[in-house]
């Protein structure tokens, strides 16, 4: 977290103004008291040359705060402008790899790139928890904004270099456009922050129903904390079938949550929120330990061989939060080999900038894990992952599978995709198969593996034993 070494940091909002200032001044941290209520400040940067942890540091902060208040008065309200709120992921990893100063240097480099793209008409600020930016632009057209913001997300997510080493940073963007009305800067910041999407690489505009959604998000976050404390999370498994011979070649581990009211909450509802919590590592550990324990049990029963595989659904955020190191530690504890385990990543998480995530995929393969790309086919920007050997399996998007019998174009697409993958020695799995005719069409297209309700629904670990044994 930026400037986290100072003695008076404690869960606070902080920031620095960056409006046509030089690099040194741009890193002078200031407390935007008029934007976000807080009682704590966090300063201390080797680049800003502010002192650490002493009374002189407090005086330095006070003088900077007075300067900040004057600057904020210039943007106390907005009209016919748009406030953009950018939240970064990946700086925590950079800090661990190259240190706090290296992460700050990288942040300054990103600031310079963004200022170069935006030009002199935009005002840039940083009132964020952790690494992030806010900027204001004189534009309110959603279509024009979206076009430029897509370029900005691509710019910010491009591979970054420190001392000739490449690092991956990703961004998500919340947008609040102020047209034909006057609104306070403070409210504009809150609205844009409410609009922040859950997934990195995505852009979302504020709408009137987001406030209610934001309240629901905080309520669900409390329930997630309760679920972690009370071990409410569990795993089920969906089998991956060989269409040709009917054999089961592996299972996908699926997280399930039945809360204290016996309500079943879908992973796509709670995991995006859980991924933003510091306790997501506890959920990851729960998933890993349960899956490895079940796998070990199947080995003892003579159910599985070395060729039997387990797929884990993992987000890019979970990778950055240490999922792989947790998995490696647990594999050592259980005495298991990584080669039977596949890390599955959604294609949509990679689309915006495939190159920025190649290091993550290469690291997984170097450790012995397989890599699988889920819901493949919605965007051909990830095709290089197949042709360049960065993945071991692709799972064809179920929207494509559902139309394979009724649309010749979908059938031809699957046939071409399977042909490319097979020539690259990459396995192809069709997901969401719901009928025998779909299975036959897939097999005719060269896709030999499938999962879906036609073959088997997600099941508890004890039922996997009977399914594999033909019961």
HEC per residue, the chain? CCCCCCCCCCCCCEECCCCCCCHHHHCCCECCCCCCCCCCCCCCCCCCCCCCCCHHHHHHHHHHHHHHHHHHHCCCEECCEEEEEEEEECHHHHHHHHHHHHHHHHHHHHHHHHHHHHCCCCEEECCECCCEEEEEECCCCHHHHHHHHHHHHHHHHCCEEECCEEECCEEEEEEEEECCCCEEHHHHHHHHHHCCCCCCCCEEECCCCHHHHHHHHHHHHHHHHHHHHCCCEEEEEEEEEECCCCCEEEEEEEEEEECCCCCEECHHHHHHHHCCCCCHHHHHHHHHHHHHHHHHHHHHCCCCCCCCEEEEECCHHHHHCCHHHHHHHHHHHHCCCHHHEEEEEEHHHCHHHCHHHHHHHHHHHHCCCEEEEEEECCCHHHCHHHHCCCCCEEEECHHHHHCCCCCHHHHHHHHHHHHHHHHCCCEEEEECCCCHHHHHHHHHCCCCEEECCCCCCCECHHHHHHHHCCC
Q: What is the pLDDT along the chain (471 residues), one digit of tens a residue?
A: 232 222 122 222 223 233 333 333 332 332 222 233 222 223 333 332 222 222 232 323 333 334 443 444 445 677 788 888 888 877 777 877 788 788 888 888 888 888 888 876 666 776 444 577 888 888 778 888 888 888 888 887 777 777 777 777 888 888 988 877 788 887 888 888 878 876 667 788 887 666 555 556 666 777 888 888 888 999 999 999 999 999 999 999 999 998 766 778 888 888 877 877 767 888 999 999 999 999 999 988 888 777 899 999 988 778 877 888 899 999 999 999 999 999 999 887 777 667 777 888 888 999 999 999 998 877 666 788 898 888 999 999 999 999 999 999 999 999 999 999 999 999 999 999 999 999 999 999 999 999 999 999 999 998 998 888 775
* Residues 178, 76: Cα–Cα separation, whole Å: 13
The pLDDT, as a whole number, for residue 224 is: 85
196 close to 173: Cβ distance less than 8 angstroms: yes
pLDDT score for 44: 32
Q: How far apart are CA 284 and CA 289, in angstroms?
A: 9
CA distance 457 to 199: 27
Count of Cβ atoms closer than 10 Å to residue 260 Cβ: 10
What per-residue confidence (pLDDT) applies to 19?
31
Closest CA to 193 of 208, 205, 202, 184: 205
Q: How far apart, in whole angstroms, are the C-alpha atoms of residue 67 and residue 368?
A: 54
* The two three-digit tokens of residue 442, written as one number: 């897939």
**Tokens coding 140:** 């309110």
Q: What is the pLDDT of residue 143?
A: 83
What integer pLDDT is reported at residue 370 of this predicted model?
A: 94
Q: Residue 195 in contact with residue 206, Cβ under 8 Å? A: yes
Return the pLDDT at 76: 62
Instruction: Give the Å distances, CA to CA, from 64 to 30, 165, 197.
Output: 6, 34, 32
Asked if 283 and 235 touch (Cβ cutoff 8 Å), the reply is: no
């Amino acid at each position: 977290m930026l400037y986290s070494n100072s003695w008076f940091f404690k869960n606070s909002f902080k920031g620095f103004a960056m409006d046509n200032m030089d690099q040194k001044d741009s890193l002078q941290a200031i407390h935007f008291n008029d934007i976000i209520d807080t009682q704590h400040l966090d300063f201390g940067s080797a680049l800003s040359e502010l002192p650490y942890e002493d009374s002189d540091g407090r005086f330095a902060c006070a003088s900077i705060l007075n300067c900040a208040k004057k600057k904020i008065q210039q943007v106390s309200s907005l009209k016919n402008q748009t406030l953009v709120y950018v939240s970064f992921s990946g700086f925590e990893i950079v800090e661990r790899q190259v240190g706090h100063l290296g992460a700050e240097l990288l942040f300054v480099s990103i600031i310079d790139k963004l200022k170069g793209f935006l030009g002199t008409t935009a005002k840039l600020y940083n009132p964020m928890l952790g690494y992030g930016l806010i900027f204001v632009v004189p534009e309110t057209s959603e279509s024009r904004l979206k076009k430029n913001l897509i370029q900005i997300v691509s710019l910010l997510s491009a591979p970054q270099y420190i001392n000739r080493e490449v690092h991956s940073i990703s961004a998500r963007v919340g947008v609040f456009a102020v047209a034909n009305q006057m609104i306070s800067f403070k409210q504009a910041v809150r609205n844009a922050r409410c609009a922040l999407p859950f997934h990195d690489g995505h852009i979302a505009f504020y709408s009137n129903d987001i406030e209610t959604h934001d309240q629901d998000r905080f309520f669900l976050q409390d329930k997630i904390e309760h679920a972690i404390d009370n071990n409410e999370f569990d795993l089920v498994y969906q089998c991956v079938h060989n269409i040709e011979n009917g054999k089961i070649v592996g299972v996908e581990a699926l997280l399930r949550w039945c809360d204290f009211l016996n309500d079943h909450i879908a992973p796509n509802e709670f995991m995006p929120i859980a991924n933003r919590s510091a306790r997501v590592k506890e959920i990851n550990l729960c998933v890993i330990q349960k899956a490895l324990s079940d796998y070990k049990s199947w080995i003892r029963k003579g159910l599985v061989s070395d060729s039997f595989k387990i797929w884990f659904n993992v987000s890019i955020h979970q990778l950055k939060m240490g999922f792989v190191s947790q998995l490696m530690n647990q594999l050592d504890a259980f005495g298991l080999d990584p080669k039977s385990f596949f890390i599955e990543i959604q294609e949509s998480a990679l689309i915006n900038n495939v190159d920025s995530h190649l290091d993550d995929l290469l690291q997984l393969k170097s450790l012995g894990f397989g890599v699988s790309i889920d819901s493949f086919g919605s965007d051909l920007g990830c095709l290089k992952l197949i042709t360049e050997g960065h993945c071991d399996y692709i799972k064809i998007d179920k929207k494509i599978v559902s139309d394979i019998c009724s649309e010749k174009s979908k059938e031809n697409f699957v046939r071409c995709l399977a042909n490319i993958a097979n020539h690259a020695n990459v396995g192809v799995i069709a997901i969401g198969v719901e009928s025998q005719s779909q299975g036959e069409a897939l097999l005719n297209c060269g896709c030999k593996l499938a999962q879906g309700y036609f073959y088997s629904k997600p099941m508890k670990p004890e039922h996997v034993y009977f399914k594999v044994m033909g019961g």
